Amino acid sequence: MGHNKSELLHEVGQLVAQLSLMGVKDVVLSPGSRVAPLALAFARHPDINTLSVSDERSAAFVAMGIAQQTESPVVIACTSGTAALNYTPAITEAYYQRIPVIVITADRPTEWIDQWDGQTIRQNNIFGNHIKRSFQMPDDLSHADAKWYKERIANEALNEALSYPQGPVHINWPLREPFYPDAEEQFDFDASSIRIRKELSSEPYLEEEVWEEELIPLLQQNKKILIVAGQSQLDKEVEESLSALPFPVVSDVISNYGHLENATVHQDVFLTPEKNKDLQPDILITFGKSVISKNLKLFLRNNKPLEHWHIQEAGDVPDPFMSLTKVIRSSEALFFDQLNSINFEEEEYIEFLTNWKENNDRVKAQKADFFELLSFSELEVVNHLINSLPENSTLHLANSMSVRYANFIGVEREDVKVFANRGTSGIDGSTSTAIGHAIANPDELHFLLTGDLAFFYDRNAFWNNYLPSNLKVVLLNNHGGVIFRMIDGPARQPELGEYFETEQRTSAKYLAEEYKLKHWEINSREEFYYTFDEFIQPNSQACIYEVKSKKEISKNTFKAFKREGMK
């Protein structure tokens, strides 16, 4: 029996209808022939927004940004062969950041794999250990059981992506030619016969007896209690509970809790592994994902608490501070709400908070006039950017020095949301991710702080037809990777310039001309302060504000700021 094209198109339409019914609203496609039936079905579905981004690596990061911004699952779909492999960096980032991306890769028929046929590679389980779950569609959907299995796969994939902790899933679909619809052929989006499987769950919390027997006695005996917020998006219930507690809340820039009265944001400046013994906690309570601050990690590894509790509803729990004693299977909101019901009025609790705040306030006071007598530097640009962001802006931080600069300066504003690709901390998709956010949220300004290596590495982020006018890029161009001058090992090597910093002489001017972006080139402090207010205003096109800087000055300023903060 031959391949039935009409039947295939019917089943593709039904899958797309099912995904829409289950909450998928956005799809990022990358062009190709084998993916054609899926691409056409997504594009023609009335309730799905589709984008076409040619570079699969960029497309996947754009989709990840949309998923973060909308807090909803986003589909990416591409053709067969190495196209799928180009998704890998973003899929890995989504896995560690727990972002629900549904990956659909079109594949060649199974019998042609390893037969020297074009664009045919081993795609089943192609993302290895960096995917929550992989699914393989049947080659032949003519049998009723195969149709049931296809529907089952969509149900299981979506539920898996959205179950806690969320993350990417992969559907590999071998598609046999012919698969292009004729002019009179339509995709069937009628969802009346589709069976949706919902997973119902309740919010996890700790029973009162667990609190009374396991936690409260420890909280009463040990008065130095420290909360560390890992990478998070702000939760209003958690915010309210944290702000009422007499404990220091250590908040890296990516935690989005730096605006709390009891928050410290400059721990990366004032902490050292050997000093600050009076800041050692008895009980460490952590939530969220990773932290940026290397000094915080080293300090806590060298000054271990008696108890370390991590709050996480489900899933594997890392132990970055090498001190984990309890995994608390509760939602963060319920845990901190329950914690607030305990009486913490004794002076010892307040003294520990005061100690952390005094160290933080010393660095904050230093910022006021630190830059006035120094040469113009990247850290000064970052300080002014963070202080000048318009209300309700989003700040995206590229990896390497950009995110570290911002973490040193700190963000203490509730109206500014901060995002960074700190799942794997790679430089490869920072711009594409920010573009995804800006596309999904056109009513707010999105600022990307990036260095030249991260910017040019992801230059294909601009190679699409959807560049949003609310995207504003601050590019720190020191013509190389200045971070390697901060690290003692590479800084001492004679090959520093060529093999670590990767010295280059590229400017964003020509890229801006090519993609019709508004561009500024800044070469001095005077130019910076003269033009910056114009840059941060809403504009009719995406903007690049390129600050040319000197590596040695930026390195020395960064180290001086740190020295002052440790005094």
Give the separation between CA 60 and CA 53, rounded to whole angstroms. 9
Tokens of 58: 């960029």
Which is it for strands 101-107 and 249-251: parallel, antiparallel or unpaired? unpaired
Q: Are residues 390 and 537 in the same domain?
A: yes
Tokens of 226: 């420290």
Query: CATH no. for residue 113?
Result: 3.40.50.970
Give the separation between CA 395 and CA 449, rounded to whole angstroms. 7
Tokens of 231: 């990478």
Give the separation between CA 50 and CA 42, rounded to whole angstroms. 7
* Cα angle: 257, vertex 258, 260; to 5 degrees: 80
Residue 226 DSSP label: E
DSSP string, 241-267: HHHTSSS-EEE-GGGS-TTSTTEE--H
Q: Are residues 376 and 471 in the same domain?
A: yes
Q: Are residues 326 and 373 in the same domain?
A: no
Q: Write the CB contacts of 442 (distance below 8 Å, at least 6 apart in sequence).
A: 468, 470
pLDDT score recorded for residue 480: 64
DSSP string, 412-441: --TT-EEEE-TTT--STTHHHHHHHHHHH-
**287 and 312 in contact (C-beta within 8 Å)?**
yes
Q: How many domains does the chain have?
A: 3
Q: Are residues 334 and 460 in the same domain?
A: no
Tokens of 544: 């690049």
Domain termination site, one of 363, 392, 416: 363
Q: Are residues 460 and 333 in the same domain?
A: no
Give the separation between CA 335 and CA 330, rounded to whole angstroms. 6
Q: Are residues 406 and 525 in the same domain?
A: yes
Domain termination site, one of 333, 363, 393: 363
Give the separation between CA 205 and CA 328, rounded to whole angstroms. 9
The letter for the amino acid at 180 is Y
Query: pTM of the full predicted structure?
Result: 0.94
Residues with pLDDT less than 50, the chain: 1
End-to-end, the C-alpha distance of the chain in Å comes to: 81
Task: Tell me if 198 is assigned to some domain.
Answer: no
Give the separation between CA 160 and CA 134, rounded to whole angstroms. 10
- Residue 52 belongs to domain spanning: 5-174
pLDDT score recorded for residue 1: 42
**Among 434, 361, 424, 429, which Cα is nearest to 395's?**
434
Q: Are residues 356 and 380 in the same domain?
A: no
Task: Tell me if 181 is assigned to some domain.
Answer: no
Task: Tell me if 474 is assigned to some domain.
Answer: yes
pLDDT score recorded for residue 554: 84
Query: CATH no. for residue 271?
Result: 3.40.50.1220
φ and ψ at residue 412, rounded to 5 degrees:
-120, 35
pLDDT score recorded for residue 486: 57
Task: Tell me if 407 is assigned to some domain.
Answer: yes
Q: Are residues 107 and 216 in the same domain?
A: no
Domain termination site, one of 148, 174, 200: 174
pLDDT score recorded for residue 552: 84
**171 and 135 in contact (C-beta within 8 Å)?**
yes
The letter for the amino acid at 433 is T
User: What would you measure as the largest C-alpha separation in the chain, in angstroms?
Assistant: 82
Q: Are residues 494 and 447 in the same domain?
A: yes
- Other beta carbons within 10 angstroms of residue 507's beta carbon come to 17
Task: Tell me if 318 is assigned to some domain.
Answer: yes
Task: Tell me if 164 is assigned to some domain.
Answer: yes
φ and ψ at residue 195, rounded to 5 degrees:
-100, 120
Q: Are residues 290 and 313 in the same domain?
A: yes
Give the separation between CA 245 and CA 252, rounded to whole angstroms. 18
Q: Are residues 414 and 524 in the same domain?
A: yes
Instruction: Map tokens 């099912």 to a residue.
Output: 18
